[in-house]
Amino acid sequence: MFAYYFQLGLRSLRRNPILTALMVIAIGVGVAASMTAYSVFRVVSGNPIPEKASQLYAVQIDNYGPQHNKKGEPPDELDYTDALALQQTHKAIRETSLYPVLLSVIPANADLRPIRSSSYAMYADAFKMFDIPFLYGRGWSASDDQNRTPVVVIGRALNERLFHGVNSVGQQIDLNGQEYRITGVIDSWDPQPRFFDPISVGPFGNPIQLFIPMSRAVDQQLITAGNTDCPDENNGNGWDAFLHSDCVWLLHWVELPSTADARTYRQYLQDYAAEQQRVGRFEWPPNIWLRNVTQWLDHEHVVPPETSLSLYVSLGFLLICLVNTVGLLLAKFLRRAPEIGVRRALGASRRTIYAQFLLEGAAIGLAGGVLGLLLTGVGVWSIGLVFDARVARLATVDLKLMASTLGVAILAAVLAALYPTWRAAKVQPAWQLKTN
């Protein structure tokens, strides 16, 4: 029966080719616009570390005070004094301060130019905390952190470039004129958005290729490649003065597996800030925040306004296409009132009428979906024209997107067919037969 109705549906589609084409185009275009916008939206609003999103927390401590902070909210980053104090007390199971640095690999061959790679300075805990996968070797040890050892973990792409992909653990490379020993090579790792630091270069940077101990980076006076925000600017007497200033430039992450751990840690932060107030460093009561990954990304507004705006506009567009399709389907179905009358008179139940017309709607949805797939392909391909290249490179057409394109198209068409079908099923056989 199903196959028969589907056939009827297809035949009916052929009967009014222009009307059918209009509906198919409306659904195809509407769905394609929505799915293209969604392909970007799902990346920028995605959860970059689903297993641990509620166990990793970003720490904020108000070292600015009510006079300088933004509407009572502590700054997004920490100053060196606070970050170092937290790291040394190490109350969490794992924790790390981190900041982006500018590191360049200097090839031994004097004819070659230095290679700049996206680089971070952090503590040994970070590898396990962030579930960073290793291809060869491992991260450095806590004693390397303490001794400021020149060690480095490099990324897969850089390992390909420098060592043709072979195991390079134990080799030395020249970073900014200093020799560093490679302790590990990480596999492809590129969380999007970059939850652990959405601030410095924006939430959608290139994959990180170099990690060095933060103690070493500070020792080498490597300035941050990200933001530095200072309540007062004129801290001005060299590196040590900068380290002791109120300028914020570090992120601090802690791993707290249970809510009880989180509660304990929050209390510790509270006590820490209270202590700072007691010794006179802060002239205000404790103002601290502990945000897990989800809350943090929300707080940082990682979804660009252009992206959500496009999504809303294209959804509105789809809605109009649907209203349009309802009207056209109504016209199409009711034009066949005499035919329905004959079928009903010959014994077809309302149910069968429902089945037949909804299937016809589904057939239109399927055709619209196929067109939508093509247009979505074109749309995703041309996203680079509209959005920031760093965001655009993340939007891809995969099986899931293709399936949802078809699914949304069919669902939309069936929804649009509901009312017209109901009207069609209400046709009175006797009346139709009489007027004919």
Partner 1 sequence: MLQITPVLAALKRHKVGTLLIGLQIALTLAIVCNALFIIHQRVTRVDRPTGVIEENLLTVRNEWTNAKGADLSALIRTDMQALRQLPGVQDVAVSYGYPLRGGGWDSNLSIKPEDPSRAIDAARFFGDEHVLSVLGAKLIAGRNFRADEVRMLDSHDLSSPSVVIITKALAERLYPDGSALGKPVYVGSSATPSTIVGITGNMAGFSAGTWTDATYNYVLLDPTVLVDKANAYLIRTQPGQLDTLTKAAPDALFKINRLRIIPDAENDGVRTFAEVRAQAYKDDRGLALMMGAICLLLLMITAAGIVGLTSFWVAQRRKQIGVRRALGATRNDILSYFLTENLVICVGGLVVGTVLAVSLSQWLVMRFEMQRVSPLYVLLGAVVLLLLGQAATLAPALRASRVPPVEATRSV
Residues near partner 1 (CB under 8 A): 19, 22, 25-26, 29-30, 33, 67-68, 102, 104, 106, 110, 112-114, 116, 176-177, 220-221, 223, 230-239, 241-242, 304-306, 308-310, 313-314, 316-317, 319-321, 323-324, 326-328, 330-332, 334-335, 385-389, 419, 423, 436
Do residues 196 and 300 make contact, with C-beta atoms less than 8 angstroms apart?
Answer: no
- Which residues, 6+ apart, have CB-to-CB distance to 289 below 8 Å? 59, 60, 73, 74
Between 172 and 270, CB nearer to partner 1: 172
Indicate the Cα dihedral angle 41, 43, 46, 50, nearest 10°: 160
Least CB distance from residue 136 to partner 1, whole Å?
26
> Quick one: 23 exposed, middle or buried, by C-beta within 10 A (0-12, 13-18, 19+)?
buried
Between 256 and 321, CB nearer to partner 1: 321
- Residue with structure tokens 């909804």? 358
Least CB distance from residue 177 to partner 1, whole Å?
4
Could you tell me the two tokens for 151? 């060690």
Least CB distance from residue 182 to partner 1, whole Å?
19
Q: Which among 76, 99, 90 is positioned nearest to 216, based on CA atoms?
A: 99
Least CB distance from residue 13 to partner 1, whole Å?
14
The DSSP bridge pattern shows strands 94-105 and 134-137 to be: unpaired
Least CB distance from residue 385 to partner 1, whole Å?
6
The letter for the amino acid at 302 is V
Between 72 and 347, CB nearer to partner 1: 72
Q: Other CB atoms closer than 10 Å to residue 189's CB: what's the count?
A: 16
CA dist 216 and 222 (Å) reads: 9
Between 22 and 53, CB nearer to partner 1: 22
Helix or strand run (H / E) with residue 174: strand 172-175
- Distance from the Cα of residue 199 to its chain's centroid: 14
Least CB distance from residue 66 to partner 1, whole Å?
11
Between 314 and 404, CB nearer to partner 1: 314
DSSP state string for 376-429: HHHHHHTHHHHS-HHHHTT----HHHHHHHHHHHHHHHHHHHHHHHHHHHT--H
Least CB distance from residue 52 to partner 1, whole Å?
30
The letter for the amino acid at 172 is Q
Between 82 and 246, CB nearer to partner 1: 246
Least CB distance from residue 51 to partner 1, whole Å?
31
Least CB distance from residue 392 to partner 1, whole Å?
9
Between 177 and 347, CB nearer to partner 1: 177
Between 36 and 183, CB nearer to partner 1: 36
Could you tell me the two tokens for 43? 């990346």
Q: Which among 133, 151, 142, 139 is positioned nearest to 191, based on CA atoms?
A: 133
Between 102 and 142, CB nearer to partner 1: 102
Least CB distance from residue 316 to partner 1, whole Å?
5
Cα distances (Å, whole numbers) of residue 112 to 36, 166, 172, 281, 318:
42, 21, 17, 49, 53
CA dist 151 and 286 (Å) reads: 37
Least CB distance from residue 256 to partner 1, whole Å?
33
Between 331 and 430, CB nearer to partner 1: 331
Do residues 34 and 317 make contact, with C-beta atoms less than 8 angstroms apart?
Answer: yes
Between 67 and 88, CB nearer to partner 1: 67
